[in-house]
Structure formats: C-alpha cells, structure tokens
Amino acid sequence: HVYYLKELSRMSIEHRRLPYIYCEKPVAVNSSEVNWLKKKFSSFSTRLQVGFNLLNSDFVLEASKLITRKNLGKPISAFFQVSHGLAAKHDFSSNWRAQDTNPFSQLLGNLAIHHIHASQHLFGKVKNFLLTEQNAFDKKNPDSLSLLLDHESGVQSHIFCSYATVFSKRFSIYLTDGLLEHSHEGLVLMSPRDTYNDAGQFT
C-alpha cells in the first residue's frame, strides 16, 4: 500500500492537509517499502491506522494493563490459537489462500501476522523464532502452522493457526500471579497463583 501512501503524501502537499487514512495490513511488503515507511512514518503517524485490529480487542487491552501495572507479576508466556475448517471445503483449492504465492496471502502473512503483531506490541522485539507448517489437505499452500516467538523480554509467544480443523479461538497470557484467557465464553482472569482447595491442592 506504499504506492497509495506516496500518492496521498503528494496530494497532501497540494491541498496542505493529510487526510485520515485506514490502511489494510501489511503496509509494506519488501525492504525498500519498509525503508521508505521508516523515513516517512512520523509524517503519517497521527493520521494512519493500519488494520491490526487485534490491538483493540478486550484481550490485548486488558493484557496491556496487567503488564503495565505489574499487579499480577511478570508475563511468562502467551498463547494465540485460531482455527476453522476452510481448507476442508471442496472449492478451497481454487481459493487465493490455497493458491497465491505471495507470503502475505498465505496463512503466516494473512492470519498469523495479527498475532505476531499483538505479541510484539505486548512483549517487545523477537530475538528468535521457530516455525513449522503442515498441509493436511494437500493443497499448494500450508493449511496449519505453529510458531514460537522468543522475545528479548524473556516471554515466549505460541501461535497456532489452521484452516484444517474445527472452529476455535482462544487467547491466553500466563503471568507469575495470574492467568488471563479469552475464548467464545468471554474474558476470564484467574488470580492469585496460590489458590487452594480444601485438600490443599492448587486450584
């Protein structure tokens, strides 16, 4: 979308005003576009909204508060699990998700990218990662993936995305004194860590 940002930038000089811009993710798709965006970002930053809308979810907003306030200790690990059965549909082999060679059309760049972005927002830069992909329905592109992100902060993010299984959407973050979970049942916070039943067992 850098082409359009350049055009809007040029037009804003003529009209002496930059419009508000909503831009679908990802903004830049190669290193030259990324470098241009880095140089120009300050001129767009107050007017540009990129479609990483997971940052506005109840889960990420609540997780951000917990991490900032530190009232439930330090974050240890996060899990993002999203799946549904799109790859099992008879017409999936002609779908762009199954065919397109552009990495931003595939599972990693189209779906998992939201959870990668949210993880970096919550826990900072990634120093290492491990990615495994599989293809249960033998199409051109992978239909499932598991991604482990090792953040410089010491937190690990686990991302599982699939078009090949049942519908599920579950996010969780483990902290030293609590657990925040989001599923179809809503947002649940469990704390403190040292909670016991009558038999003295952890509950």
* Res 107: pLDDT: 94
CB 124 within 8 A of CB 61: no
User: Taking residues 102-131, what's their average pLDDT?
Assistant: 95
The one-letter amino acid at 97: R
Q: 159 and 138 in contact (C-beta within 8 Å)?
A: no
Question: How far is residue 62 CA from its own chain's centroid?
Answer: 15
Mean pLDDT of 180-184: 94
Select from 178, 171, 174 the least CA-distant residue to 194. Answer: 178
Residue type, 70: K
Judge whether 167 and 81 are in contact, CB under 8 Å. no
Q: What tokens appear for 75 in the block?
A: 């974050």
Mean pLDDT of 33-57: 89
pLDDT band at 140 (very low <50, low <70, confident <90, very high): confident
Helix (H, G, I), strand (E, B) or coil at 43: helix
- Please state, in angstroms and rounded to a whole number, the distance separating the CA atoms of residues 203 and 21: 48
Distance separating the N- and C-terminal Cα atoms of the chain:
49
Cis peptide leading into 26, omega within 30 of 0?
yes
pTM: 0.89
